Amino acid sequence: MAECHPVGFQWVMEAKERGATVIHVDPRFTRTSAMADLHVPIRAGTDIAFLGGIVRHIIENNRYFRDYVVQYTNAPVIVDEEFRDTEDLDGLFSGWDSEQGGYRVKSWQYRNAPVEGSAGDVEMVHEQGQGQAGEGQSSQPSFAEERDETLEDPRCIFQITRRHFSRYTPEMVEEICGIPKEMFLKVAEALCDNSGRERTSAFVYSVGWTQHSKGAQYIRTASIIQLLLGNIGRPGGGIMALRGHASIQGSTDIPTLYDLLPGYMSMPKAKHDQTFAKYLENNTGASGWWTELPKYITSTLKAWFGRAAGPGNDFCYGYLPRTSGDHSHMTTVADMADGNLTGYFVLGQNPSVGSVHGALQRKGLRELQWLVIRDFAPNETAEFWKDAPEIRRGEVRPEDIATEVFFFPAAAHTEKDGSFTNTQRLVQWHWKAVEPPGDCRSDLWFMYHLGLRLKALYADSLESRDLPIKNLTWEYPTEGEHQEPNADAVLAEIHGFTVEDGEPVSGYLDLKDDGSTACGCWLYSGIFKGGVNQAARRKPGSQQSWVAPEWAWAWPSNRRIMYNRASADPEGNPWSDRKKYVWWDAEQGKWTGEDVPDFIEDRPPSYRPKRGARGLDTISGIDPFIRQADGKGWIYVPSGLMDGPLPTHYEPQESVLENPLYGQQCNPARFEYERKDNPYHRAHDDPRFPYVITTYRLTEHHTAGGMSRWLSWLSELMPEMFCEVSPELAEERGLHNGEWATITTARAEIEARVLVTRRIRPLRMGKGGKRLVHQIGLPYHWGSKGLVTGDAANELVSMLADPNVSIQETKALTGTIAPGRRSRMRRVVTSGPLVEELPEGSGAPRDLPAVGARPRGKHGLEAPKEKEGEQA
Amino acid sequence: MTDPGANGDRRHIHPESGILSGGASEQRVQRPEPDAPTEPWTELPTANLDDPTYYDRPLLKEAVWISAVPVYFWAGGASGAAATLAAVAQIADRDGLDGLIKRARWVAAAGGAAGTALLIVDLGKPSRFANMLRVFRPSSPMSVGSWVLAGAAPLAAGSAVLHDAGALGGVADAAGLAIGVLGMPLAGYTSVLLSNTAVPLWQEVRRTLPALFLSSAVISAASVLQMFDLDERELDIVRRYGTAGKVADLVASQAVRRNASRIHQVGSPLHAGLSGALWKASEALIAASLALSMVPGNRGRGRRVVEGLLGTAGSLAMRFAVFHAGKASSRDPRATFRHQRGGHGGTEATGRAAVTGPEDLRAVATRDERTPGRTAVS
Amino acid sequence: MSAPTAQRGFFTDTTVCIGCKACEVACKEWNQLPDDGFVFTGMSYDNTATLGASTWRHVAFVERPVAFGNQVTADGQFSWLMMSDVCKHCQRAGCLENCPTGAIVRTEFDTVYVQPDICNGCGYCVVGCPFGVIDRREDDGRAWKCTLCYDRLKGDMEPACAKACPTDSIQFGDLLELRRRAEERVARLHERGLRDAYLYGVDEANQPGTEGLNAFFLLVDRPEVYNLPPDPVAPAKKAKEAWLSMAAAALGMAAAAVAAVLSGRGTGR
Ligand SMILES: Nc1nc2c(c(=O)[nH]1)N[C@H]1C(S)=C(S)[C@@H](COP(=O)(O)OP(=O)(O)OC[C@H]3O[C@@H](n4cnc5c(=O)[nH]c(N)nc54)[C@H](O)[C@@H]3O)O[C@H]1N2
Ligand SMILES: Nc1nc2c(c(=O)[nH]1)N[C@H]1C(S)=C(S)[C@@H](COP(=O)(O)OP(=O)(O)OC[C@H]3O[C@@H](n4cnc5c(=O)[nH]c(N)nc54)[C@H](O)[C@@H]3O)O[C@H]1N2
Ligand code: SF4
Ligand code: SF4
Ligand code: SF4
Ligand code: SF4
Ligand code: SF4
Ligand SMILES: [Mo]
C-alpha cells in the first residue's frame, strides 16, 4: 500500500500512531513492510490457505462474534442435502458438469430457498446454461430459508464452513505458504484480539490478491473472516479494495466492463434477455434492494433515448447491444489473433506492455484492419508494428502488417474537468488547470464529437438498425474554441432528472419505472442534488464531523460506510460506545448517527417481513446487507460464483508444489487458453522452471509506463528494468547485484538488472519443511519506448483467467533465471518453442479425472480451426 | 537514453504548457550530470554496521576546482615569497641589491598576474573575478585572499614596472614595501583556504599546512630567481633563502603527514594513490634540489637552472599532491567518519560533544557493548 | 508556549518515511530542476544516490541487518530505513561563511539561500559544506542547493517537498515549535520501545559544531548509516588556528628573508 497508494497510506500511518497494529502479508518485504509491525512473507498464490487457516482458527477457538454471526450473516442457514464439499470430493464441490465443464449451482442452494447472487450478477449463472437456481425464483422470496441459530446443525453454513476449513491447520499453512506456525498464530491472534464489540480490524488488499486464477475467492476468504469477527459495516472495519488507476472505481460503477450497465445492472444477454420483460424477469431481485431494478433500468433507458423511449417500445430496450458470450480482454485478444476482429479502440491503455503475453497481444493487433489509440505519446501499443521484439528479431516485418493505426493525442486529467471515484467510493471533482496543448483533446470531447459525426452519418438512414444512433440523446452544452462538452452537464444526467420539467431528482429513491424519470446511473443519483455538483464540495475536515460528509460525495447517497446498519446490534443500539456509528432512534422512529444510515430510514429493528412480502418490504429490521437478496452477509455463497460457494486452496496454474490438500491441483473452473502460442508449464515441479515468479509495481512508475517512463523526474528514480532475488538464489544461480540476468518462461525470455536483496527470503515449506522455495520479483513497468526502456515482464506471462472476473494470473507463475544478458528476445508466438518440450503427459494433471471437460470457448465467435493458435 | 526533453534541457516542461520560473529555472542545462555512480553497486546492498557507510558513496562534494588552482597556489606563493624577499632586500640595501630587488619584483608581479589569470580560468570569465570583490567577508579565506591578491597584484606590477622609471622610483619603492607585507598572506592564505573546508585532510592539517605552503613559496620564489643572472651576493641570498625554504619544506612535509596520519584514514591520501605519489615525488625533488645545492663547486648557470627546476617541480608537485589528496579525502566517507569519531570534528572546535547516534551508540572511538559486533568506530 | 519567530525549518522524522520520493519529485517539479541522467545504481531503491546541484531532496534507502524497534520480520534481523535528506540550513553554515561573493545569504526566514545572479562559481561553498550538500553545476558554472522554497515562503506557502509528503515525515514550520514536537516524538518513540530514536542536529547543544540545523532529523541509527557526518563542524570554527599558524609561518618566511639578506652581507665582500 505504501508502494502503490502512498497518499492513502498516510491513514495507515496515522492509525499506527494511534496504536493500530499493521500486518503486511506479501512475498516481498516492501516499503509497506518497512512500516509494518509484522511482515509475513508468503508464497505467491497461496493466500486462501493462509486466510483459510485464520477462518479455522477463529472457529475452532470460538473467537467469532457470535451475536453478529447469528443475526447478520447466513451462518445459521441450512444448505440443501445435495451439497457436497471439497472435503468429500477431493477438491471439487458438488454440481460439476463434467460434459460441459463448470459448476451447476443447484446443489449449493439453501434448503428449500434458492437465492440469487448480489449486485445484478444473477444471470451469470444463466449464461453458463446453469440457471436452474435462478429461474422462477421470483416466487420464492429468500427469507424463507431454514435456520439453526445454535449453529450446531451439521448442515448449517457455520458447520459446513467449519468442516470445509478443518484441515487448514497452522501446520498446513506452513506447509503450503511457507509461513512459520508461530508467525501465523501471531497474525490470527492479533486479528481475533482486535475484533469484537469494542474493537474492529480492517483488511486492505489490491491486486496481490486478485490477479490469480482464483482471485475472487481470495477476497471471499477475507469476507468470511470479517463476517465471523463482526468487522463489516462498522467503523474501523471492512475490506478495502485499493483500486488502480485514478478512477478505476468510477469505471466499474459506470462501467467500461463488457457485462455490466451503469450501477451494476446486467448487460442484456443475447440468449436469455431477448425482451425487456425477460430482462426484468431474469434480473430483478425477488427480495432485497435489487427488487428496484425496473426503476433503474427504465430511467437509464430514458436518459439514453429520451423522447424515443416509452412504455410502448419497451423504452428502447431493443437498442441495447447484447452480449453473446465472454467478451473479456484476453478472450477478445485471443480471438483477434485468430483474425476474427476488424477494429479495436485502445483508449488510455497500453496492452503491448501492460497486458499479459505481450507477443500474443501484438499478434492480435497485427490481424486487425484498424486500430484507434488515444494516449499522450505513441506508446508500445501504438507502435507495435515498428518497434517490438519480434520486429527487431526480423520475424515480423512492418511492411507485412496491414493494420491501419490512428493515433489521437489525449488530454491529461489536469487539462479537463471531470471526476475521480476513489477506493472508498468517494467521487471527487477535478477542474481543468491548463488548456491541452496542440491537438490534444479530452476523451469526453472525442466521444461526443465521434457521436455527433455518427449521428450526422446516419441522419438520413431509414434502416431500423440505425435507430439507436439516431435516437440517442446527445445534447450537451459545449464551450470554448474546441467545443468541449460540459462535464457538469454529463454529471447532471448521471444524477437524473424528472422528464417533464428537467428538474434534478433528489436521489435514486425518486426514480420511477414508468418513464417519468431519467437517470444515467442510479447508484450515482444524488451526486447533483439540488442542481449542485456535490462531488465538488471541498469543506475541510477540520470544519465538520470526523466522518466529513461534506467533502465530495460518496455513493450510495453519500454513505461513507456501506452496510452501516451492522454497526448497531439487532436491537438497534451501538455494539459499544467506542464503536458507535449508526443507531436506531426510537423516539424519532428512525435510524440516525454519524453517517447516512445505509438502511431504510424508518424501518425499526423489530420489523419482520410478512410472507408474500414484495420489494423493499422483504428487508427485515435485522438485515444490514440490504443489497444482498436475503439481507445477510454471505459466509457461504449459494449462487453468483463460478468456482464454488466456499473458497478453496488451489495451486496456481503453474506451481512449484503439488496441492497438499486435494487431488484437484488447480481451480477446476479456471479459464485456460489452450493454444500453441500460449504454452503452460507443468502443473508443478517443472524441472525447467523451478522458481516462483511474481510481478508488481513500484512507487516510481505507473503500470505500463505511459505516465512515468516519458517523464524524466520519474524515470531517473527507477531507470532500468530489474529483478529482485534473495542472496540465496543469487548464490544458487550465480547472479550478482547490479549485473544482468535473463528470465525465461515457455512464452518468452527477457533480461533485467539484478537487485539482490534480503527483502526477499527463500521460504521453507512442503512436508516437514523440506522444500526451499525461491521467488523472483519482477516489476512490470518497462517497454521499448519512452525515456527509460527495458524488457516488459508481461512477455513472460501466459493467458489464463479467473472464472468469475476474467482476471489474469500475473501474481504467481513459474520460470527460471540465469546470469547474464543471454536473452535473444525470443517469443514463442513468433520464434517457436523456447524450451525443450517435455514428453506429452509426463507432468502431473491439474484436474481430477472426474472433472472431464472444463469451460472453454466462452466467446460467441468461433475461430476457424486451422487458424487457432497458429504459429506465425 | 533518448529524447532529452521537450526543450532539450531535461526539464520536460513543454513550452506550450509551462514557463520556466522555478527556483532553478536559471540553471543552464546541457548534459545530465549524474551524481550517481557510473558503475552499479555490485555487493549485496545491506549496510555493514561494523563499519557503516552509505554504499561507500562520498559524504562530501569533491572540490570542483581544476588544475589551474594548484598552479595558482604555486604562483601566488612564488609571488608572495619574492615580494617579501624584495622588500627585505630593499630595506637592507636598496641600491646594493637593486638587481635582486628588480627581479624579485618582477617575479612577484608575474606571479600576481598569472595567479589572477589562473583564477579567471577556473571561474570561466573575468567578470566573475570582479564578483569576488563585491563584499569583504573575513570568515571566508577566499574573500580575504581575493582582496590580498587584488591589492598585491597591481602593487607588485607597479613596483616592477616603475622600478626603472626614475622619478617614479619612490612610488615603486613604496609599492615594494607594501607588497612585502601583503606577500606574506598572499603566499600563505591558500593554506588557510584549504584548511577552512569540510575536507577532513585539509581541515586536519590546518596547523601544519601553512608552514609547508610558505616554505614551498620560498622554494618557488628562490628557484625562479636562481635561474636569473644575478651577482654573487644576490645569488647567495637567493640560495640561502631557497635552502631555508627547502629545509623547512622537508620538515613541514613530515609534520603535515604526521599530523594528517594521526587518523589513518585521514592521512592515507598522502601515502597512496596519485596524491601519495605526487607527495613522494615532491619530497624527492626538493631533497634532490637541496642536495644539489649543497654540493660544493661550480655555481654556473646550468647547475642553477637544474637546481631551480628541481625546486620548482618539487613545489608544484606538493601543491598538486595536497590538492588531489583533498579530493581523495572528500571521496572517502570513512575519512570524515573516522575523523569526527576520533574526536576531531565539532567536538574539537567547541569542546562539547555532539549527539552522534542512538543513546548507546554515541561513543566516539569505543566499542558498543549492547550489540556485540556493532562498533562505533573501527 | 514559545513566542513565534521568523525561524523556519524542517523536522524530518525518518520513522514515518515510506520512501515514496514524492518529496524528491515535488522539489524537482516546483523548482524546475532537470533530471540527472538515468543510471541504475544497484543501491536498493535509490538511483539518484546523493544530493547535488540538481537534486535538492534525496531519499536514502538503507537495508540493515538489524531489526527496527519491535518490528517482527521473517528474517528477524532485518529492516529497511528510508530517509529524505536535504540541505540542513545550518545555523553556522559552512557554505555561507565560505562564500566570497556574498551570493549566499541568510534570509528573513533564517534559511540559507544562494542568489544565482551573484554566485560566480568559485566553488568554495562546495568544500565548505560539512554535509556534502551544495554543488556546482558544470555546464552552468554556479552553485545550487535547496532554497527552502524561498519563493514559496514569501508567498506564505509550505515548501513543495513538505507539502507533497504523504506521511508528514517532512514537517515544516516554526523552528522552536518543530523542536518541541521533535522532542515529544522521541519521548513517545522511546516509550514505545524504539530506544534507538534520537534527534540529529536539533539545536546548538545537540550539534555544537554547526550550532544546530534548521533542517534537523529524527534518526534510528548512527548518522554514518544515512551518509551523515557524526560530528560536523562549520569549518570557520577552526579558522583561527589556521590563520595563527599561517601568521607564524609567514613571519618565519620573513625571518628567512631577513636572514638570507643579512647573513649574505656578513660573509660577502
Ligand atoms: N506508484 C504506483 N501506484 C499505483 C500503480 C502503479 O503502477 N504505480 N498502479 C495502480 C493500479 S492500476 C493498481 S491495480 C494498484 C495495485 O496496487 P497493488 O496491488 O498494491 O500493486 P502490486 O505491486 O501489483 O501488488 C501488490 C503486492 O502483491 C504482492 N503479491 C504478489 N503475489 C502475491 C500473493 O500471492 N499474495 C500476496 N499476499 N501478495 C502478493 C507483490 O509482491 C506486491 O508487493 O496500484 C495503483 N497504484
Ligand atoms: N504482470 C502484470 N501485469 C499487469 C498487472 C500486474 O500487476 N502484473 N497489473 C494489471 C493492472 S491492475 C492494470 S490496471 C493494467 C494497466 O495496464 P494499462 O492500462 O495497459 O497501462 P497504463 O500504462 O496504465 O495505460 C494507461 C494509459 O492511459 C494514458 N492516459 C492517462 N490519462 C489518460 C486520459 O485521460 N485519456 C487517455 N485517452 N489516455 C490517458 C496513459 O498515458 C497510459 O499510457 O496492467 C495489468 N497488468
Ligand atoms: S498518484 Fe494519485 S492516486 Fe496515486 S497515491 Fe498519489 S495521489 Fe493517490
Ligand atoms: S548543509 Fe551545507 S549547504 Fe546547507 S546550509 Fe549547511 S553548509 Fe550550507
Ligand atoms: S560558488 Fe557561488 S555560492 Fe558558492 S561560494 Fe562561490 S560565489 Fe558563493
Ligand atoms: S524546501 Fe523546496 S527547494 Fe528545498 S528540498 Fe524542499 S522543495 Fe526542494
Ligand atoms: S515524501 Fe515523505 S514519505 Fe515520501 S520519501 Fe519523502 S519524506 Fe519520505
Ligand atoms: Mo489496476
Tell me which ligand sits closest to the C-alpha of residue B61: 4
Residue A859 has pLDDT above 80, yes or no: no
- Distances in Å between the Cα of B25 and the Cα atoms of A2, B20, B29, C120 are 32, 5, 10, 17
Instruction: Pull the grid cell for residue C1.
Output: 508556549
What is the per-residue pLDDT across C234-268, written as a single tens digit (0 to 9) for each?
Answer: 999 999 999 999 999 999 999 999 999 998 555 44
pLDDT recorded at residue A131? 34
Neighbours of C (≥3 Cβ pairs closer than 8 A)? A, B
Kindly tell me if the per-residue pLDDT of A804 is higher than 70: yes
Q: How far is the CA of B133 from the centre of ligand 5 (A)?
A: 13
> Quick one: cell of A233?
459495516
Distance of alpha carbon A236 from alpha carbon A191, whole angstroms? 13
- Return the H-helix or E-strand segment holding B112: helix B98-123
> Where are the alpha helices (H) located in chain C, listed in sequence order?
22-31, 94-98, 124-128, 150-154, 160-164, 175-191, 239-267
Q: How far apart, in whole angstroms, are the C-alpha atoms of residue A249 and residue C161? A: 29
Band of the pLDDT at B359, cuts 50, 70, 90?
Answer: confident
Nearest to A292 by CA among A281, A300, A284, A283: A284
- Taking Cα atoms as reference points, which of B166, B165, B139, B134 lies closest to residue B150? B134
In angstroms, the Cα distances linking B131 to B127, C100, C101 are 7, 8, 6
**Separation of alpha carbons A681 and A243, rounded Å:** 30
Instruction: Report phi then psi at B348, rounded to 5.
Output: -65, -40
Q: Residue A525, Cβ neighbours under 10 Å: how many?
A: 29
Lowest mean pLDDT of A324-328, A757-761, B172-176, name the range. Answer: A324-328
Q: Write out the three cell numbers for A643.
A: 468456482
Q: How far is it, in rounded angstroms, from Cα A723 to Cα A743? A: 9
Phi, psi (deg, nearest 5) at residue A633: -75, 135
Nearest chain A CA: its distance from C146 CA (Å): 17
A290: left (phi over 0), alpha (psi -120 to 50) or beta: alpha
Task: Give me the residues paired with residue A753 across strands.
Answer: A722, A740
Q: Rounded distance, CA A399 to CA A393, Å?
A: 15
* Average pLDDT of the residues of chain A: 92
Give the separation between CA B241 and CA B218, rounded to whole angstroms.
7
Give the Cα separation of B169 and A34 in Å (integer): 78
pLDDT at position A398 over 70? yes
Query: Rounded distance, CA A165 to CA A160, Å?
Result: 9
Report how far apart, in Å, the C-alpha atoms of B193 and of each of A842, B1, B276 are.
Answer: 78, 40, 21
Q: Above 60 in pLDDT, residue A135?
A: no
Q: What is the DSSP string of A502-527?
A: -PBPSSGGG--SSSSEE-S-GGGTTT
Crossing angle, helix B68-93 and helix B232-260, to 10 degrees? 130
Q: Is the pLDDT of residue A125 over 70?
A: no
What ipTM was assigned to the predicted interfaces of this complex?
0.93
Beta bridge partners of A323: A269
Q: Tens digits of per-residue pLDDT, C107-137? A: 999 999 999 999 999 999 999 999 999 999 9
Q: Quick check: B366 pLDDT over 70?
A: no
pLDDT digits (tens, 9 = 90+) for A505-537: 999 999 999 999 999 999 999 999 999 999 999
- The 10s digit of each residue's pLDDT in B330-356 is 999 999 999 999 999 999 999 999 999
C-beta of A376 in contact with ligand 2 (< 6 A):
yes
pLDDT-derived band at A857 (thresholds 50, 70, 90) equals: low
Of chain C residues 126-165, which have a CB less than 8 A from chain B? 126-142, 144, 147, 149-151
Comparing A296 with A610, the larger pLDDT belongs to A296
Note the pLDDT tens digit of each residue in A608-659. Answer: 998 888 888 989 999 999 988 889 999 999 988 999 999 999 999 999 999 9
Contacts of A30 (CB under 8 A, 6+ apart): A2, A3, A24, A759
Nearest-CA residue of chain C relative to A2? C18
Alpha helical stretches, state H, A306-375: 329-337, 351-354, 358-366
What digits encode the pLDDT tens for the residues C23-51? 999 999 999 999 999 999 999 999 999 99
Q: Is the pLDDT of residue B363 over 70?
A: no
CA A646/CA A538 separation, integer angstroms: 42
Nearest CA to ligand 4 atom 8: C95
Give residues with Cβ within 8 angstroms of B53, minimum separation 6. Answer: B333, B334, B337, C224, C227
Residue of A nearest to B1 (CA): A787
To test the contact with chain C by mutation, choose from A1, A709, A737, A758 the residue with the greatest count of C C-beta atoms within 10 A, namely A758
Please report, in angstroms and rounded to a whole number, the separation of the first and last CA atoms in chain C.
Answer: 83
Higher pLDDT, A586 or B164: A586
pLDDT for residue A636: 97
Q: Between B251 and B369, name the one with better pLDDT.
A: B251
Q: Give the pLDDT of residue B7.
A: 53
CA distance linking residue A198 with residue A195, whole number of Å: 7
Tell me the C-alpha distance between A149 and A71, whole Å.
8
Give the pLDDT confidence score for residue A137 in this predicted structure: 39
Rounded Cα distance, C92 and A262, in Å: 63
Alpha-carbon span B140 to C98, nearest angstrom = 4
Average pLDDT of the residues in B205-220 = 97
pLDDT at A612: 83
Average pLDDT over residues C198-218: 97
Q: Report angle CA C103, C105, C111 to the nearest 5 degrees.
A: 140
B294 — pLDDT class (breaks 50, 70, 90): confident
Question: Is the per-residue pLDDT at B299 higher than 90?
Answer: no
Mean pLDDT across chain C, nearest whole number? 94
Q: What percent of chain B has pLDDT over 90?
A: 71
Residue A123's pLDDT is what? Answer: 37
pLDDT at B86 over 70: yes
Cell of C156: 506564505
**Average pLDDT value for residue range B240-267:** 96
Ligand with minimal distance to A349 CA: 2
In angstroms, what is the span from residue A72 Cα to ligand 3's centroid?
35
Distance CA A743, CA A751 (A): 6
The pLDDT score that the predictor gives to residue B362 is 66
Q: Which atom of ligand 1 sits closest to the CA of residue A701?
A: 8
Inform me whether the pLDDT recorded for B321 exceeds 80. Answer: yes
Give burial (CB, 10 Å; 0-12/13-18/19+) of C62: buried
pLDDT higher than 60, residue A822: yes
Residue A34 to residue C63, Cβ atoms within 8 A: no
Query: What is the arithmetic mean of pLDDT over A395-409?
Result: 97
Chain C residues within 8 A of A38 when measuring between CB atoms:
71-73
Nearest to A190 by CA among A44, A171, A199: A199
- A858, pLDDT greater than 90: no
Pick from A200, A205, A167: nearest CA to A25: A205
Reported as a pLDDT band with limits 50, 70 and 90, residue B8 is low
Chain A residues in contact with C14 (beta carbon < 8 A): none
Q: Does C30 touch chain B (CB under 8 A)?
A: yes
3-state secondary structure of A357: coil
Buried b (16+ CB within 10 A) or exposed e, B106-122: bbbbbbbbbbbbbbbeb
DSSP at C182: H
pLDDT given for residue C139 in this prediction: 86
Q: What is the DSSP string of B126-189?
A: HHHHHHHTS---TT-HHHHHHHHHHHHHHHHHHHHHGGG-GGGHHHHHHHHHHHHHHHHHHHHH
To which H or E segment does residue A346 belong?
strand A343-347
For atom 4 of ligand 4, the residue with the nearest CA is C87
Strand blocks (E) in A117-209: 203-205
Angle CA(C172)–CA(C174)–CA(C176) in degrees, nearest 5? 120
- Phi, psi (rounded to 5 degrees) for A511: -70, 150
B125-165: per-residue pLDDT in tens? 888 888 899 999 999 999 999 999 999 999 999 999 998 88
Chain C interface, mutation test: which of A713, A753, A761, A789, most C Cβ atoms within 10 Å? A713
Inter-residue contact C135 to C128 (CB < 8 Å): no
How large is the average pLDDT for residues A10-33?
Answer: 96
CA A785 to the chain's CA centroid? 29
**Percentage of chain A modeled with pLDDT above 70:** 95
Query: What pLDDT is stored for residue B26 in this prediction?
Result: 87
Contacts of C238 in chain B (CB under 8 A): 195-196, 203, 206, 348-349
- The neighbours of chain B, by the rule of 3 or more Cβ pairs under 8 Å, are A, C
Of A699, A737, A787, the CB nearest to C38: A787
Q: At A856, is the pLDDT very low, low, confident or very high (cuts 50, 70, 90)?
A: low
**Which chain B residues touch A if contact means CB-CB below 8 Å?**
1-3, 5, 10-12, 14, 16-18, 39-46
Residue range A595-618: mean pLDDT, rounded: 92
Residue type, A682: R
Nearest CB among A700, A759, A788 relative to C21 is that of A700
* Nearest chain C residue (CA) to A182: C74
Q: pLDDT averaged over chain B?
A: 89
Mutate to test the pocket of ligand 4, among C96, C106, C124 (most ligand atoms within 8 A of CB): C96
- Looking at the predicted structure, is the pLDDT value of residue A139 above 70? no
The pLDDT of residue A143 is: 55
pLDDT more than 70, % of chain C: 96
pLDDT exceeds cutoff 50 at A677 = yes
